[in-house]
Amino acid sequence: MSDALGRGVVLVMSLWDDKSVNMLWLDSTYPVGSTKPGAARGSCSTSSGNYEEVERDYPNAYVKYANIRVGEIGSTYTANLANEFL
């Protein structure tokens, strides 16, 4: 990671839905039913994230990014500010 950061990296953030596997790869168990190491990636149900439901229930979803900071780890906030996000 240090080598990559030394060469320069680009921060990318987005809002999206996953029409292939309903985001299960990110925060659930994927492949569904797998018990192999690494398959359990979060606590979300394997029935969650269905893109048809997400698009129907949240047609006007959007994201706003703010207060993005750049600096050495631990240098861009105070301990009091960090507690506000817990």
Give per-residue pLDDT as tens, 18-62.
889 998 988 899 999 999 999 999 999 999 989 899 899 999 988
Residue-range domain boundaries for the chain: 16-86
Give per-residue pLDDT as tens, 2-14.
787 777 777 778 7
Res 84: pLDDT: 58
Q: In the chain, what is the greatest distance between 2 CA atoms, to the nearest angstrom? A: 43
User: What is d(CA 19, CA 29) in angstroms, rounded to the nearest whole number?
Assistant: 16
Closest CA relative to residue 46, chosen from 37, 34, 59: 34
Give per-residue pLDDT as tens, 51-82.
899 899 999 988 888 888 877 777 877 766 55
pTM above 0.85, yes or no: no
